[in-house]
Structure 1
Amino acid sequence: MKRVEKRNRPPLSCQPCRSRKLKCNRGSPCDTCIKRDKQSSCQYAENANRDKPKNTTGDRLQNLENAVLQFIQKEATQTQDQPSTYTPATSSNSGTLRLTGGQPQYVDSTHWLSILNDIKEVREQLSTQEENDTEPQPEVDLVFPTTSCSISEILLSLPPRPVCDGLVSQYFNAKFMMLPIIHPIQFQKEYEQFWQDPSKTPMLWLGLLFSILGLATTLRQLTGLPVHIPAETFRQRTMQCLVVGRYTTAKTYALEILGLHIQSSFIGQSDSNPNFWFLMGIVIRLAFQMGYHRDPSHHPSLTPFESEMRRRVWAVTFQLDALVSFQMALPSMIPSEFCDTSLPRNLTFNDFGPDTTVLPPSRPLSDRSSMVFTIIKSYVMTVFKKIVAHTQSLSPPPLEITVMLDMEIRETYNRLPTNYKMTSISKSFLDSPNIIMEKVCIELLYLKGIMVLHRRFLQPRGNDSGTREEGSINSSTNRFRDLCLEAAMQILARQVDLHAACLPGGQMYENQWMLSSLSTHDFLIAAMAVCLELSTISPHTAERGSYLDALRTSHTIWQTRQGLRDAKIAVQALGIMIRNIESRQDRMGNEGVVQSQLMEDPVTGVLEGSGDLDWALLDQYFQGLDGGIEQGEDPYLGLDWMV
């Protein structure tokens, strides 16, 4: 029989589909590769070679040796001509920023991948090829449990371009809530490319677009403007893009998407929410994985533009971690001693862009830009984080360190530009609401730092006679306690100022949503500090009247916001304390009644001054109000985080 020779015909399927025996629609890229986010691997061979011999083990070893020699020669050439895409670990243990497939991944110098320097890039190339040739296993995402879908299904939720244009414009023109981590010039270029062929868009960039649309829609809802698509729809699509795009592999835009998604989910919520803290943990760990905690100067492969944008992302992440961790009464998740990323420069978006080769010098802090608020707040935040770590120490912190931290935070605040120091809102009629809120945030952070630093000195006075012997322990304790109460009273005064500005006709009336849960928490902790002082001082103390008046005013303000869970707790707590403080003098001396009330009502008992104030007991009491925690309520209803 005559042997029939087979003709070498061009293959109809792309290489990935042929190797996996998957259905290929012959697109460029095909739908299968788009769904797997492997558009770059979707390639078609010019002709099929059926007689090509298979590589033996010896051939593969020879190829590997040749590849190593070629790589060494190529690296030597790149070193002379241009920066390499790989930055080797240095003697300072700076670690390595590996760019695999264009995606940054940080590897510490102690990791085995950093130790294997000789053949590192070859191994990476081989492992990348092996990953492309292996069918991915289905993943279960515990953070975003959403159903996987194709890009065509996700695009069905995209509104018409004119609507998208309006929402994108609203996001980039928002002043107070816009995180300065997306460069508008770069985004506009990518945005135009997206509309040319949306089906070819990388899944994570699509997630970035949906996160921006979701945040802009949330802002519209908060300000009472009409919306075309609910913000929740955009948030659901954002989560799907994150999962399908495999954000956990530390891909480009993953951090930015998560930051905007968290902001969109929790903006305008005046109640504390522990989910915010849990999601921040994901953001922080992803930032570590991508090396954001190390300054980009360690990695010359990064462009000036990339370096500056990474510093911006890290600055925002660092601040959110400090604030949210403190709100949850938990240690910060970012160990400062292992981070050296410098602050970003005070530059407008017009000062630098993707094509910038040399960054311009930083503008003066008196020049307003989208970044200056974050920079100024970072100065106070750095000291605040030291204070929180100092107070959370397992051993009694030395008084000398307490004094030094008090001086440091006061000096830091005093050095801030005058236009970022708060005055009465009624005297700030030239300031826009976003500028007022920026000043308030910085002032509250400063006052909160002083109050937290000296919080442990709120206890029964060591010398009721009023004599304060200089240099004695009692004198130091009294002085620190007074500093704590002074800061708490200033915070409560700012609460009154903001409340008046939020009334009809006030400067903040149409922007009440700006009062986030973080500032709400500040007012609560200040009120609790004053309550604690009133529960321990004599009814005849001179300051008692001013403290009680401030508490009554705060209680009245909270009564106007009882639709919020935190406000409901504040009204109940302050109401009980005020009633007991007002009638405390009449009940003094009746020890039997006090002990009976301690059994029936722990709040009444602890406020009688019959021993130390038991905040754990107070926490249990408020968790038991209204029959305890109802189904669907947040389990973190206690008051442990108020101290």
Structure 2
Amino acid sequence: MAEPDGRRRRPAVSCSLCRRRKIRCNRETPCSNCLRSRSEACVYENPKHTPPFPRHHLGQGQTTDSGLAPRSRESMPIDRVSSTSWSTLPSHPSSSLVTGSTGASTPTSQPSAQDAESMRLKLRIQQLEDQLCRSTLRPTQSPVSTPNSNIETTSSRLGGTFHVSYESGASGQPQAIARSITHKTRLFGQSHWAVNGVFLIRDIFEMIEVHLRKETSNAWSGIERCKSLARVIKARRAPPWPSPPTPDLPPKEIADALVDCYLRTTEAIYRILHIPTFRRDYEALWVSNTAPDTAFLVQLKLVLAIGAITYDEQFSLRASAVRWVYEAQIWVSGFKFKSRLDIQSLQTNLLLLLAQERVGVGGDSMWILVGTLLRKAIYIGLHRDPVRLPQMTAFAAEMRRRLWNTILEVALQSSLTSGGPPFISLDDFDTAPPGNFDDDQLVTDDPVPKPADNFTQVSIAIALRKTFPHRLAVTKFLNDLASPGTYEETLRLDAELRAAYKALGRTLQASDFLMHRYLSSLHVPYFGPALHETAYAFSRKVVVESSLKIWRAACPSWSLMAARPRGDAAPSDGDDLPRLAVCSSGFYPTVAIHAALLIALELRTQLQEEESLSPVPLRPDLLSVLDDAKAWCLRVIKAGETNVKGYLLMSVVSAQIEGLMRGLGKDEVAELLAKAVENVEERCLPILEEMAAAQGQGEGAVDGLQQVSLATPVEAMEDWGFMISDALFIPGNTEPMSWIFNDDINPAVPSLW
């Protein structure tokens, strides 16, 4: 503060005793004058000018800096400054300083000792505050050591341009591990299947490209014919836009079957609806003469759309399911609906999210959409347990817990599939898991949950919630930016996930598919290096065995199932998962084809490792996956999938394995690969033509529509949700690898990828 005469008072830099005596102070602790006078009250009132280096006094006229180099106080470690300060300050009012060999001391009077203690405490407080201030201003370092990151850019005519981010130097990692892949404007984390899947077979496409440059082949033109016809079929499936909800429903016997399919599959895992209430409103819909409630009608049509996926083996109601999802999209996007934040709107949003992914209709990826849904749920307080909210009924409380549990599950699964961070942590919510109630218990007064060992309509959801922290840790480890990414952490997470899964016993037998997906995803980043590095042998074994279990769960004995009568509309529980893998889009078929690809890569590596020795005896259970996978891909196309890339992928990998088994040379293997590409048209085009004819189009009409679709700009088609990427099959295209990532650009069209 300025003095009245306009001059500013200088801050005091001398100790209190020297200022009072008006003598020069050398500004040490204690200063020379206080030493000579044997006073303990050498304190400084201005902490900003406290001497930087207190001294220990060894004897009269002898001082030392305690071995400290003459550097500024700010450059000292905090712990060093703290310990030095404490060691030089008086610890008790009656303590004395050593000033000679006799150790004599002069006690001070009681008032002086009290003043000294008070000043000493003030000084110490100021010193601690200064240290805290300096520590908070310093740049913080992450507790996790970040390995060096290197970006490798690869570009080829067939492979396109992509950037692989490797991390090296991490503890326990003998080889650099791919952490992410950047392609155009998209970044994929480790859990995305393409990061550690399709790029392991880049050599196959390079070999095909070199061979086709030398030889005249119709391979790419045949693939293009398949793609052109696929565009026509998908365009015909889409209803006019906009398509507002209508009261039209299928016959009741079909609707009943579709509802049962939904309740038996999706609702058993993702608890969204209160089944007795839903069935009551559903039955009333068929007997009432009044116009149905639009909100319930939209929910019902979404239930029918999801149930139609497992209704039969051909997804014969696909066109109807697409129309029902379009109607729900129009209604949800309406202004009045968007302004509503309640339980019913969240139920509808969840149903729409699942229907868009599985039927293959939507704009953004599920991972993007679930982020909005998560924030809506938090906005209405689902992340807080009902006991911490205003009092409500047991029914309302349990429905809130169930919906929040489902939102967590969908958010985690979408993160694993897309390779994006989950953006949720265990600290973000305190909502308890759902209680072990059957649905009809919730409408009674003061319901009591059943014992944990009693199976109820919510048992699977409860079991999954028990493993949620471990599965969340796996997903964060794979996709979070600050993940340590060490192999030791991989093994630790593996042990914890296995222990949590084993503790559930038989409760989650129906969810083996899901749990093994997390195990496989955890070890897949090390699968590529493990093919050539023994340090990761355990990961190689886990990936192969988990992939085999995933494949057999999704595709059990296809040779036997092919002989069964087709069109059975009353599937058993054992048929539901295989039908989801064949007929749906998104998670289930992607996981299945990825498992088959990893098994194929293991077989290829075994052959390459022993190619100079005698023929390698391959495991029959692994070898059978190759033929089963090609047959499975054809069944997927017959069920309405128009994308032939799954069959193409498995065909070329199988051809390379066949060439290695026969001991063929590089050129002969390349010829086999080219023939495998040509075979795609021979096997897939007739199925697509039959599919187009079933839409009511004759051969001539199909040819005409092909010409129209080929003349339509791709940009215009993308606006209508018909994302067609023919980059792989267009000569000279600069980014042909974009065909791999179709689902993340726009999953509106059913796609294996």
- TM-score grouping bracket, smaller chain normalisation: 0.5 to 0.7
Shift of 1:456: 2.1
Amino acid at match of 1:479: F
- Rounded to whole Å, the distance in 1 between the matches of 2:664 and 2:512 is 39
Cα deviation digits, residues 85-138 of structure 1 (max 9, x gap): xxxxxxxxxxxxxxxxxxxxxxxxxxxxxxxxxxxxxxxxxxxxxxxxxxxxxx
Give the match for residue 546 of structure 2: 487
Aligned 8 A contact 1:295 1:311 in 2: yes
State the structure with more CA Rg: 2
Higher alpha-carbon deviation: 300-309 or 206-215: 206-215
Shift of 1:296: 2.1
- Rounded to whole Å, the distance in 2 between the matches of 1:236 and 1:560 is 26
**Is the alpha carbon distance of 1:337 and 1:289 closer, same or farther for their aligned partners in structure 2, counting shifts above 3 Å?**
same
Amino acid at match of 2:647: V
Give the match for residue 630 of structure 2: 555
Gaps of 5+ in 1: 1-144, 422-438, 464-473, 605-620
Give the match for residue 514 of structure 1: 580
- Rounded to whole Å, the distance in 1 between the matches of 2:744 and 2:603 is 21
- Rounded to whole Å, the distance in 2 between the matches of 1:570 and 1:226 is 21
Give the match for residue 157 of structure 2: none
Shift of 1:624: 0.7
2:460 pairs with 373, 383, 387, which one?
373
Give the match for residue 729 of structure 2: 625
Kindly report which structure 2 residues correspond to 1:99-118, keeping only aligned pairs within 5 A, or say none. Answer: none
Give the match for residue 651 of structure 2: 575
Shift of 1:321: 1.9
Kindly report which structure 2 residues correspond to 1:135-534, keeping only aligned pairs within 5 A, or say none. Answer: 157-158=246-247, 167=255, 171=259, 174-178=263-267, 180-186=271-277, 206-216=294-304, 219=307, 223=311, 230=320, 234-235=324-325, 237-242=327-332, 243-267=334-358, 275-353=365-443, 356=445, 358-367=446-455, 369-394=456-481, 396-418=484-506, 420-421=508-509, 439=510, 442-460=511-529, 476-497=535-556, 499-500=558-559, 502-505=561-564, 510=569, 511=571, 513-515=579-581, 516-517=584-585, 518-534=587-603
Give the match for residue 713 of structure 2: none
**Is the alpha carbon distance of 1:274 and 1:499 closer, same or farther for their aligned partners in structure 2, counting shifts above 3 Å?**
farther
Gaps of 5+ in 2: 1-239, 572-577, 678-724, 746-750
Sequence identity, in percent? Answer: 17
Aligned 8 A contact 2:310 2:580 in 1: no
Give the match for residue 610 of structure 2: 540
SS in 2 for 1:158: coil
Amino acid at match of 2:503: R
Amino acid at match of 1:290: I
**Is the alpha carbon distance of 1:634 and 1:297 closer, same or farther for their aligned partners in structure 2, counting shifts above 3 Å?**
farther
- Rounded to whole Å, the distance in 1 between the matches of 2:364 and 2:563 is 32
- Rounded to whole Å, the distance in 2 between the matches of 1:327 and 1:221 is 20
Aligned 8 A contact 1:347 1:362 in 2: yes
Cα deviation digits, residues 236-272 of structure 1 (max 9, x gap): 5544543243334423411111122334445456x99
Give the match for residue 701 of structure 2: none
Cα deviation digits, residues 580-604 of structure 1 (max 9, x gap): 23334888997xx79x98xx99x99
TM-score (norm 1): 0.55
Amino acid at match of 1:624: L
- Rounded to whole Å, the distance in 2 between the matches of 1:483 and 1:634 is 25
- Rounded to whole Å, the distance in 1 between the matches of 2:336 and 2:321 is 21
Give the match for residue 86 of structure 2: none
Kindly report which structure 2 residues correspond to 1:596-607, keeping only aligned pairs within 5 A, or say none. Answer: none
Give the match for residue 39 of structure 1: none
Aligned 8 A contact 1:492 1:527 in 2: yes
SS in 1 for 2:421: coil
Aligned 8 A contact 2:306 2:321 in 1: yes
Q: Give the paired residue count.
A: 430
CA RMSD of aligned residues (A): 4.9
**Is the alpha carbon distance of 1:232 and 1:321 closer, same or farther for their aligned partners in structure 2, counting shifts above 3 Å?**
same
Shift of 1:275: 4.3
- Rounded to whole Å, the distance in 2 between the matches of 1:320 and 1:290 is 18
Aligned 8 A contact 1:293 1:339 in 2: yes
- Rounded to whole Å, the distance in 2 between the matches of 1:336 and 1:507 is 46
Aligned 8 A contact 2:530 2:540 in 1: no
- Rounded to whole Å, the distance in 2 between the matches of 1:221 and 1:317 is 22
SS in 2 for 1:309: helix
Aligned 8 A contact 2:593 2:629 in 1: no
- Rounded to whole Å, the distance in 2 between the matches of 1:196 and 1:506 is 38
Shift of 1:184: 4.1
Shift of 1:317: 1.7
Give the match for residue 23 of structure 1: none
Aligned 8 A contact 1:527 1:551 in 2: yes
Aligned 8 A contact 2:243 2:327 in 1: no
- Rounded to whole Å, the distance in 1 between the matches of 2:253 and 2:564 is 32
Cα deviation digits, residues 309-344 of structure 1 (max 9, x gap): 011111222212222232222222434431232210
Amino acid at match of 1:579: A
Give the match for residue 74 of structure 1: none
- Rounded to whole Å, the distance in 1 between the matches of 2:251 and 2:437 is 30
Amino acid at match of 1:576: V
Aligned 8 A contact 1:387 1:405 in 2: yes
**Is the alpha carbon distance of 1:235 and 1:409 closer, same or farther for their aligned partners in structure 2, counting shifts above 3 Å?**
same
**Is the alpha carbon distance of 1:449 and 1:509 closer, same or farther for their aligned partners in structure 2, counting shifts above 3 Å?**
farther
Amino acid at match of 2:655: R
